[in-house]
Structure 1
Amino acid sequence: MTEAVQGRTFHDEDRYAEDLGGDVYIDCAFRGVDLTESFGAGTVFTECIFDDTRFNVARYTGSAFTNCVFRNCNFFDAEFTDCRILGSTFTASTLRPMKMLGGDWSLTDLRGADLRGSAFQGVRLREADLTGANCSDAVFGDVDLSGAMLTDASFARTDLRGSDLSSFDPHIVELAGAVITSDQAQVIVAALGLDVR
């Protein structure tokens, strides 16, 4: 098992296309680090801070980013498969387009995030904060959004088929042109207070 790296700060390092598979980082800070095209299976980051870090075209599988903070980071064309991003916070970061396939993003803070054109497929986003997020023209397929905070979020023209829409209030969430199933339509109708007979 890889020995955990704890409490270290990494400044302006070039880790382009580096294999971080199996690495474990606890309470570390990454400042100005280039992780473009980095990849890893089973990589673990716990309570780490990422400032001005580039994850462009990065690929992570079965990895965990738990209670991490991402500030001014770039995730252009990054892909996360079956990863756990529990309780992490994203601020002033470029998050589009990203692809999330499976995994658990519960309790993640994505307030005001620009997620246009991104894809979440089979992801758990329970109690995530998407307040004011722009999720238009994206794919949220089979996503668990139960308990999510969605005030002033936009899902215009977004494919929401198969997702849990129980937290969607059409009065405060933009849904124009969104693609949903007939079963989901019943949830939205109920949220509008209508009685369909």
Structure 2
Amino acid sequence: MGNLPWVTYWIEIADYAFLATLMYGYFKIQDKDRRIKDRLFQSANWDALTHVQNYAAYDRAIGYHFSRSLIRHNNLTMAMFDIDHFKCVNDTYGHLAGDEVLKQVSSTVVDVLKEKDEQIVLYRTGGEEFNVIFPGYTVAQAQPLVQEFFDRVKALRIPYNDVELNVTISVGVSSLHRTDHNPLDFYKRVDSHLYRSKKMGRQQITLE
């Protein structure tokens, strides 16, 4: 009977060790689950090539800003641009060259926007198509930023193998109208301004 307390003692140690192992395993599973969720969130919201937010993220953001701006009577402006003659870059130099152009252009635009206001976000919404949402901005307030990233992209010299690529963009810009029934109405108007820029010879900005 004198040995019983020691037996009990070792049983308790074993129980604690078993519990600690269970807890360690639980937290490892939780950590792995969190990392998986983080990766899924990244893949669902961010473009893997350019590292800017993607169409799914844009769709949620424009829905939020559209409703908020109408309810609070806030300004909202959007720019849409695509890279001029992008298919020609792919056809002439290959898709890896096109990828490098997409990365350099998006990085340049992001740098311009961050210098001014981190609330302004660039989204890759198509192959070579991008949208920029300007919460709280009128077209007149957004215009200098649009002009700045337009000029910086034009000045880019993108080295690829033994050549140096330079590209331009066409841009459409518009503000939210109180007669817009939904974000698609807003999107279509901005898109129509982009189309006008392309129709008029590309490498230009069409403002509302």
**TM-score category (smaller protein):** under 0.3
Structure index of larger Rg: 2
Greater RCO (Cα-Cα under 8 Å, separation 6 or more): 2
Per the normalisation by structure 2, the TM-score is: 0.22
Q: Answer 1 or 2: which has greater strand percent.
A: 1
TM-score (norm 1): 0.23
Higher helix share: 2
